[in-house]
């Protein structure tokens, strides 16, 4: 398997078009045609992780965080980013990062965090349509006009291109018959009819839905299956707001608990004592929790508006603590601890789609750089 093939597998689920503008995701370092010997998944593509990859014989790292958050102007030895880049290139280790497209995925960072602390009925905290910086119509309706005898062949082509799916249902179509009219002109090579003569035939109109990131693939498949020289194919953007993508997650606990009990649970599940708690109401039993892996402090208002009793994320500042805790309880853990499950999520996804063809390991050296006093020697 080549690096490009691994990237295609990731892109099928962790959609590259659903991310913030100019986000450094995808293949960041390496040769897309290189054969993958072994894969290491990580949260951070640090120098320690790069050295671990070399030691374990991995020539591809798949991480959540990208290596570049800002332009790197030189590759001089002795600087943080330079040393990582130089090491990866010198040792022919490729790097693929799934960053904000993994943050915005319902199987991604925040949903993994929600699952880890035991939330049920989980959905995005902020649906993709409400994120102003991401201009995307998630769903389109596609309408195809074709002769009756070609309808099933075209439906099969759409199915094979992963179209016609709504939620947990696939092969979702609506069809109805009508009369098609056309006149082939000079130079035309019509499937039905003769040049210069108006033709009237029974046609089927097929309607279904496709995703924004898949519509080009489906258009190509439909054209290949369609018998007409000039098929009529319409796309209409839809305002449907699905739960497939969004920022953060919100869900319910199976049993109500106190804020202190929740903090103990979070500390245990995240493996950290580095929690900062801004209290709105310490006595109220907790049932609904909003989470956002990583730097989600700015989403506290969405957690409050959606009825959450607690918002779990990281990187609040002093003034946000004061403002947010006037409305909602806040648990602020470290950036690493709230996103650490990404490396297992990436490993599990790749294993389920690659199988035993290529071995995949989860990084052991990818650790939280932030420690509390009790962890210091």
Which residues of 183-321 form beta strands (DSSP E)? 199-211, 232-237, 246-257, 276-278, 286-291, 310-314
User: What pLDDT does 375 receive?
Assistant: 83
Q: Write out pLDDT tens, residues 72-92.
A: 888 999 999 999 999 999 999
Residue 146: its H or E element: strand 139-147
Rounded Cα distance, 245 and 56, in Å: 34
Q: Write out pLDDT tens, residues 140-161.
A: 999 999 999 999 999 999 999 9
Cβ 277 vs Cβ 264: under 8 Å: no
Rounded Cα distance, 132 and 59, in Å: 38
Burial 340-377 (b: 16+ CB within 10 A, else e): bbbbebbbbbbeeebeeebebbbbebbebeeeeeeeee
* CB hemisphere CA count around 121 (13 angstroms): 7
Q: Write out pLDDT tens, residues 274-327.
A: 999 999 999 999 999 999 999 999 999 999 999 999 999 999 999 999 999 999
Instruction: Evaluate the CA torsion angle 323, 327, 333, 336 in order and state its sign.
Output: negative
Cβ 58 vs Cβ 37: under 8 Å: yes
Domains and CATH numbers, the chain: 3-99+340-365 (3.40.1390.30), 109-133+246-333 (3.40.1390.30), 139-237 (3.30.70.120)
Instruction: Evaluate the CA torsion angle 48, 4, 293, 100 in order and state its sign.
Output: positive
Q: Write out pLDDT tens, residues 229-286.
A: 999 999 998 876 667 889 999 999 999 999 999 999 999 999 999 999 999 999 999 9
Rounded Cα distance, 130 and 243, in Å: 12
Residue 179: its H or E element: strand 174-182
Residue with tokens 């409305």: 327
Residue 325: its H or E element: none
Cβ 282 vs Cβ 260: under 8 Å: yes
Percent of the chain residues topping a pLDDT of 70: 99
Q: Which of 110, 90, 100, 30 has the alpha carbon at shortest distance from 69? A: 100
Strand partners, 289: 251, 310
User: What pLDDT does 376 receive?
Assistant: 86
How many of the other CB atoms lie within 10 Å of CB of 246? 27
pLDDT band at 167 (very low <50, low <70, confident <90, very high): confident
User: What pLDDT does 242 receive?
Assistant: 66
Strand partners, 200: 181
User: What pLDDT does 135 receive?
Assistant: 67
Among 54-58, 127-131, 365-369, top mean pLDDT goes to 54-58
Cβ 14 vs Cβ 102: under 8 Å: yes
User: What pLDDT does 347 receive?
Assistant: 97
Strands 310-314 and 286-291: parallel
The token pair at 7 is 């990237």
Q: Which residues contact 291 (CB under 8 A, 6 or more apart)?
A: 110, 113, 114, 117, 119, 125, 248, 249, 250, 311, 312, 313, 338
The token pair at 73 is 């102007």
44: three-class secondary structure by DSSP: coil
Q: Where does the chain have alpha helices with state H?
A: 3-13, 47-55, 80-90, 100-103, 109-116, 151-160, 215-225, 259-270, 300-305, 318-324, 335-339, 342-354
Strand partners, 42: 63
Q: Which of 375, 377, 342, 370 has the alpha carbon at shortest distance from 44? A: 342
Residue with tokens 């006595």: 283
């Amino acid at each position: 398997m080549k690096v490009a093939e691994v990237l295609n597998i990731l892109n099928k689920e962790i959609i590259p078009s659903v991310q913030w503008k100019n986000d450094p995701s995808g293949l960041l370092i390496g040769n897309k045609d290189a054969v993958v010997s072994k894969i290491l998944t990580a949260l951070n593509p640090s120098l320690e992780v790069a050295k671990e990859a070399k030691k374990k014989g991995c020539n591809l790292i798949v991480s959540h965080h990208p290596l570049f958050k800002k332009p790197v102007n030189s590759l001089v030895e002795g600087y943080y980013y330079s040393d990582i880049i130089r090491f990866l290139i010198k040792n022919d280790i490729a790097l693929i990062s799934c960053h904000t497209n993994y943050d915005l995925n319902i199987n991604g960072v925040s949903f993994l965090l929600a699952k880890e602390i035991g939330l049920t009925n989980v959905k995005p905290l902020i649906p993709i349509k409400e994120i102003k910086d991401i201009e995307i119509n998630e769903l389109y309706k596609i309408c195809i006009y074709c002769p009756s005898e070609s309808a099933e062949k075209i439906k099969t082509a759409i199915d094979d291109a992963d179209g016609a799916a709504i939620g947990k249902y696939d092969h979702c179509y609506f069809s109805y018959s009508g009369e098609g009219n056309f006149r082939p002109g000079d130079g035309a090579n019509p499937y039905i009819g003769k040049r210069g003569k108006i033709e009237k035939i029974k046609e089927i109109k097929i309607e279904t839905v496709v995703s924004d990131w898949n519509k080009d693939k489906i258009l190509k498949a439909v054209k290949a299956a369609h018998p007409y020289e000039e098929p009529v194919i319409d796309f209409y953007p839809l305002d449907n707001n699905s739960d497939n993508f969004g920022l953060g997650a919100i869900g319910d606990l199976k049993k109500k608990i106190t804020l202190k009990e929740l903090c103990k649970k979070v500390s245990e599940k995240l493996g950290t004592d580095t929690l900062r708690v801004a209290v709105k109401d310490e006595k109220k039993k907790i049932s609904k929790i909003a989470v956002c892996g990583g730097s989600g402090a700015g989403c506290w208002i969405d957690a409050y508006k959606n009825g959450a009793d607690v918002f779990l994320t990281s990187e609040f500042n002093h003034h946000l603590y004061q403002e947010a805790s006037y409305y909602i309880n806040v648990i602020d853990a470290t950036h690493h601890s709230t996103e650490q499950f990404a490396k297992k999520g990436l490993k599990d996804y790749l294993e389920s789609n690659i199988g035993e063809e290529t071995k995949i390991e989860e990084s052991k050296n990818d650790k939280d750089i932030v420690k509390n006093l009790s962890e210091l020697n």
